[in-house]
Amino acid sequence: MQERLLDYFAKHCDLFIRNFNLVLSDFDADAIHDMRVAIKRIRAVFHLMERLYPDKFNQVEEEGKLREMFRLSGRMRDAQVQQQLLACNALNLGSTFGEYQAYLHDAENKAIKKFKKFIKDYNAEKELNEKQEKAGKLISSTDPEHIRIQIIQFVNELFSKARQMRAEDEHDESLHEIRRKLKQCHYLLSLFSEDDPDLPKLNTTLKRLDKVNELLGNWHDQMVGMEMLDRFIEKFRKREEAGENRYLLLKENLADNRYLLYKKVIVYFKEKLDI
């Protein structure tokens, strides 16, 4: 388990650096996506390390500038996704939202500019090498069974969190947590050997949660859309332009979609997770 974890961490650090350099030289869209995936996998290892060594390893601190870069790249993606979502909503509502489209396009350009500025000054390879050295020393001194148990507990905690959702009243942060940790659990399960006796049950648990993964992704897009639209409406009001009712209707539509997706997730949890 130790060697698997070390190899996994090194592999995705290498993938991150490789794609980071492609983004830096050519701003390649596929490289940005692959770089973000690598970061997610690296962060899953950091989360595991914090579980293993809560007094020696703080995930937020150890992520350093990597965390900020992921946030900035996420802003670019959010602006792009919201432009696609707006096009669908405009068609469904039979209305036009030119001002908001321009706002989202401007938000994308600003996010790109900030991201480019950040990566230009970021010595990613140096930082990742330091992270690998520190984590590597800790992993090498860890009992393999302790690593295995922590991953199993992580999966079980995620399943318990999903089961608890029936007692919560529209706690969107809980769905966000489930969505994020579901991916991390999948990443960490790749560390198990195929003949591990607990692996079939763990895979079955995650597959049951995977059924709502697409719903969670769509729900998250509606949430981000509502937040971005709120910021736009505030600026729109200050300019005292006509046509605000269109945007209030758009906001209501996003809220309705968010609510319906939330309810679908909860219904699934109640019906399919032995609740």
| DSSP states along 182-195 | HHHHHHHHTTS-TT
Give a yes or no: residue 258 inside a domain. Answer: yes
Give a yes or no: residue 249 inside a domain. Answer: yes
Listed residue (22, 11, 1) closest to 149, CA to CA: 1
> Is 211:272 a contact under the CB 8 Å cutoff?
yes
pLDDT for 257? 95
Give a yes or no: residue 13 inside a domain. Answer: no
How far, CA to CA in Å, does 94 sit from each of 23, 91, 102, 134, 216? 38, 5, 18, 56, 26
**Average pLDDT, integer, range 137-153:** 93
Give a yes or no: residue 114 inside a domain. Answer: no
pTM equals 0.89
How far, CA to CA in Å, does 190 sit from each of 4, 45, 53, 182? 9, 12, 21, 13
Give a yes or no: residue 100 inside a domain. Answer: no
Give a yes or no: residue 137 inside a domain. Answer: no
> Is 104:257 a contact under the CB 8 Å cutoff?
no
Give a yes or no: residue 147 inside a domain. Answer: yes
Give a yes or no: residue 224 inside a domain. Answer: yes
Q: Among 2-11, 66-75, 80-89, 164-173, which is the least confidently predicted range?
A: 164-173
**Average pLDDT, integer, range 58-63:** 89
Share of the chain above pLDDT 90, in %: 65
Number of domains in the chain: 1
Burial class (CB in 10 A: 0-12, 13-18, 19+), 24: middle
Write out the residue range of the structural domain in which residue 163 sits.
143-275
